[in-house]
Amino acid sequence: MALELTLVLVPLLASLWLAARVRRERNSRRRSEQRLLEFLATVGHELRTPLTAISGYVSLARMGGLADTDKFDLAMSRMTDETRRMSALLDELVLLARLDLGQPLHREPVNLARLCRDAVTDAQASSASHPIQLTILPGQYTVLGDRDRLYQVVANLLANVRHHTPEGTRTVLGLGNEDGHRVIEVIDNGPGVPPQLRDSAFDRFVHGGKPTAPAPKEEGGGGNGLGLSVAAAIIGAHGGTLTLEPSVRGAWFRVRLPA
């Protein structure tokens, strides 16, 4: 009797387990497909905005609305800005796709101290109204990685301050060592990340709060909601982590890279 019961239950349990696994895989596939559709819809929206602006200026030119030299120069400047914006967006999407596919990054010894100095110098040239204090603790700061991509991470974090805080906001860029890791911290005294965005700060196409004063325009676009997600993906590809730490005021981003 026990043997007969076993012969009945084993196939039944196996069938139930298999059915449950199929349902889980089907639900997971549906969620992935839904995320992909939402991602593509957002990409389309982000690209449609600059394309609409460029199309509008082209139509205006055809109707003779740009005969005035000043209006023509303004239209050309705006179209150039929108073209840069699309180019930057496409570059970041291609990079994210490469990282998602696990394609390796370039590897070479990178001096993080020199990289941080360069990033601060470039950031201050972009906006002197957002002062930055660079603090590098004594120690060795070489890592094995892609210098251009690691620079992009630090530049994105500093640009994040310029885009989402008012003029006069102060930033501290710190570099130190901790438990076999190189640690880069970007801390500002601005309004901070809104509570409703903290859990999704590194998601793609999440736009932060607007500054109380207009931020300066920069080459290469910006503000498309990909900066932090790109930075997190780059650090992840280097075996490190990028986190948003709890802070009483302002935003506190922390990068940890294996030494």
**What gap in Å lies between CA 241 and CA 234, rounded to an integer?**
9
**CB of 130 closer than 8 Å to CB of 165:** yes
Give the right CATH number for 108-258 from 3.40.50.2000, 3.10.310.40, 2.60.15.10, 3.30.565.10. 3.30.565.10
Largest interatomic CA distance in the chain:
97
**CB of 79 closer than 8 Å to CB of 53:** yes
**CB of 253 closer than 8 Å to CB of 157:** yes
Share of the chain above pLDDT 90, in %: 39
Which residues does 73 contact at the CB level (< 8 Å), separation at least 6?
none
- Helices 69-100 and 227-237 pack at an angle, to 10 degrees, of 30
Most confident of 19-23, 56-60, 126-130, 168-172: 168-172
Q: Can you give the pTM of this predicted structure?
A: 0.69
**CB of 257 closer than 8 Å to CB of 119:** no
Segment 185-227, tens digit of pLDDT: 999 999 988 888 888 788 876 665 443 333 333 433 345 567 8
May I ask the CATH class of domain 2-100? mainly alpha
Q: Which two tokens stand for residue 142?
A: 């070489």
Comparing CA positions, the residue from 94, 87, 96 lying closest to residue 50 is 87
**What gap in Å lies between CA 10 and CA 22, rounded to an integer?**
18
Share of the chain above pLDDT 70, in %: 79
Domain ranges of the chain: 2-100, 108-258
**CB of 124 closer than 8 Å to CB of 183:** no
DSSP letter assigned to residue 68: S
pLDDT at 217: 38
For residue 135, the cross-strand partners are: 174
Q: Chain-centre distance of CA 131, in angstroms?
A: 22
